[in-house]
Structure 1
Amino acid sequence: MSLGTDPVAPVAADRWFRRYARTPTPRRRLLVLPHAGGSASFYHAWGTAFDDDTEVLVARYPGRHDRLTDPCVDRMEDLTERVTDALLPFLDVPVTLFGHSMGASLAYEVALRLTRRHKVSAAALHVSSRKPPHRLTPRRLHEAGDEALIEEVRRLGGTDESLLSDPDLREIVLPAIRADFTIVGTYGPRAADPVDCPVYAYVGDQDPSITVHDMSGWADVAPRGFRLDVLGGGHFYLTERQDSLTRTMARRMSETDRMG
């Protein structure tokens, strides 16, 4: 891993990605798709976790942070279309997709859309802490009251507690959280359509919602290869295991380069 200066992190002109680039001519890109209730800032440290040849793009969902005034998106189909369209200018080099929790479903749908609509295959699909599309059992939490929704976010983790405990801040973030949980609650189950790239799955060994068996089902959509890694931790194992996870991902991106 390079120990160069911190990367520049400008906001993409199309407003959809925060970019972390150490060189104007990267060899590859990694698109990170956050979890329900998550934001690009949660993955800020990933901008310096990879080598100089890797540009990191982190999706900036509307309705939060510097997109606070942008209308939230509450349908997976709409979010997939907008993220994919925003990604098109970045396909001049191989793109690897990583999604955590809700982001894993989104990454899967983006991979399918790239192939079907644009005849482009992702270099690889990395999915974390989320059942595959054909094993999903959606919950209707988005129809519950605010307190029930907040308690679920607290149970899973991954959202700044100060945003949830302060009444004024909570009022600001609740629309985006509810929109994300509407996506989660209305997506799937659906057919196990295969993706045209290797699939790597990750899960915490103490995740209260997702089991190793659940994650193994991603093999059903991975005719080009599948690997499952179990890491120590809960639903947000990736906070404690960030170094291990990003090192593994970096190695796999390099291996994909050689295979390509």
Structure 2
Amino acid sequence: MTGTSRTVPAAESAAPAVPTAPAADDGVGPPRPARWLLRRPDADAEARIFCFPYSGVGASMFSRWPRRIGRAETCPIQLPARENRIRERHFGTFGRLAENLIEPLLPHLDRPFVFFGHCAGVLPAFETARQLAARGLPTPDRLVVSAQVPPHECPHDRFLGLSDEELTDELSQQVIARGGTPHPLLMKLTLDVLHQDLDATALYTTDGPTPLPSGITVLRWSDDPEVPPGRLDGWSAYSDDVEFAVLGGGHYEFLSAPADLMSLLERVTAPAKGGSDHV
């Protein structure tokens, strides 16, 4: 096997204390709010699904998803150092990412909303929900976690043990899965971002389960060998309302907006009995 070996940094624990002001992620000042979302949210949306990308990619990974799922608008989150934010400094850790994200996201949390994350995208989604709760701010009605072990069992990511050659091959497969054609220069740029994202993944852990006020839906994919079924059970300790579901397909099936996933998201964003309180 060839490739460059990686040094895994010391662990980052999700601390209970949350700074009152977000840290800058671009070396100059707080990022411009509009950049955090791929597009401006619609004012007439009844609910929102904020979608967190996984390692190495940006918000465009959700390009095959519909703009509306039932009554909910899909809102892909754009992270620094990629796509239209390619010139910005990487966020470093998921803790810092959440700190920076909350302020620009807050104006759009004025109606029912859900966080969705797949694989490593679950970690910033969870950390953002945790920090919102710690600050007494609106929290997701539901956190939908797909193909990721609970934070206290992290780090868990197959990519952490791969060489550059193997990572490039994986990235090429992802591009093809999204309907694109791998380009050598694009693969090199993406690999650089992926290394930094994997460092953030390797750092993130918690000392134990951190319960959220949100409900949690845990997804496993029937043909996905990356996360054995038993590794997802620990999510039960993260909320009083946890449900588990198995959907058909492999690890990247969600990219194509499969009907069973869209139906699930429509269900979890449907109006709750008795209404919902978001101020």
Would you call these one fold, judging by a TM-score over 0.5? yes
What RMSD in Å do the two structures reach over aligned CA positions? 2.7
Q: Which SS does the other structure have where 2:270 is aligned?
A: helix
Deviations 1:153-191 (A, max 9, x none): 46xx53447989533222222221111111111212532
Alignment CA distance shift 1:214-1:91 (3 Å): same
In the alignment, is the contact (CA less than 8 A) between 1:233 and 1:240 conserved in 2? no
Of stretches 76-85 and 28-37 in structure 1, the one that deviates more from structure 2 is 76-85
Give distance in 1, aligned partners of 2:120 and 2:174.
12
* Number of residue equivalences: 244
Q: Which SS does the other structure have where 1:69 is aligned?
A: coil
Name the residue aligned to 1:9. Answer: none
The structure where helix makes up a greater share of residues is 1
| Candidates 22, 33, 36, aligned match of 1:16 | 36
Name the residue aligned to 1:106. Answer: 124
Alignment CA distance shift 1:103-1:166 (3 Å): same
- 1:181 maps to 2:198: yes
Q: Which SS does the other structure have where 1:14 is aligned?
A: helix
Shift, 1:208, TM fit: 2.1
Of stretches 234-243 and 244-253 in structure 1, the one that deviates more from structure 2 is 234-243
Name the residue aligned to 1:208. Answer: 225
Q: Which SS does the other structure have where 2:38 is aligned?
A: strand
| Candidates 45, 51, 59, aligned match of 1:40 | 59
Q: Which SS does the other structure have where 1:256 is aligned?
A: coil
- 1:30 maps to 2:49: yes
Shift, 1:121, TM fit: 2.3
Alignment CA distance shift 1:71-1:176 (3 Å): same
- 1:87 maps to 2:120: no
- Counterpart residue identity of residue 28, structure 1: A
Alignment CA distance shift 1:26-1:141 (3 Å): closer
Shift, 1:255, TM fit: 4.6
In the alignment, is the contact (CA less than 8 A) between 1:212 and 1:230 conserved in 2? no
Give distance in 2, aligned partners of 1:18 and 1:117.
25
Query: For 1:92-171, what aligned pairs fall within 5 Å after superposition?
Result: 92-138=110-156, 145-153=163-171, 157-160=173-176, 165-171=182-188
Deviations 1:72-124 (A, max 9, x none): 22311111212222211112112211111111111111111111114322211
Q: Could you say which structure has the greater relative contact order, defined with CA pairs below 8 angstroms and 6 or more residues apart?
A: 2
Give distance in 2, aligned partners of 1:71 and 1:106.
17
Shift, 1:49, TM fit: 4.3
Q: Which SS does the other structure have where 1:134 is aligned?
A: helix
- Counterpart residue identity of residue 259, structure 2: D
Deviations 1:126-155 (A, max 9, x none): 10010001222446966975224324546x
In the alignment, is the contact (CA less than 8 A) between 2:64 and 2:255 conserved in 1? no
In the alignment, is the contact (CA less than 8 A) between 1:38 and 1:159 conserved in 2? no
Uncovered stretches (5+) of structure 1, i.e. residues with no partner: 1-11
Give distance in 2, aligned partners of 1:29 and 1:42.
18
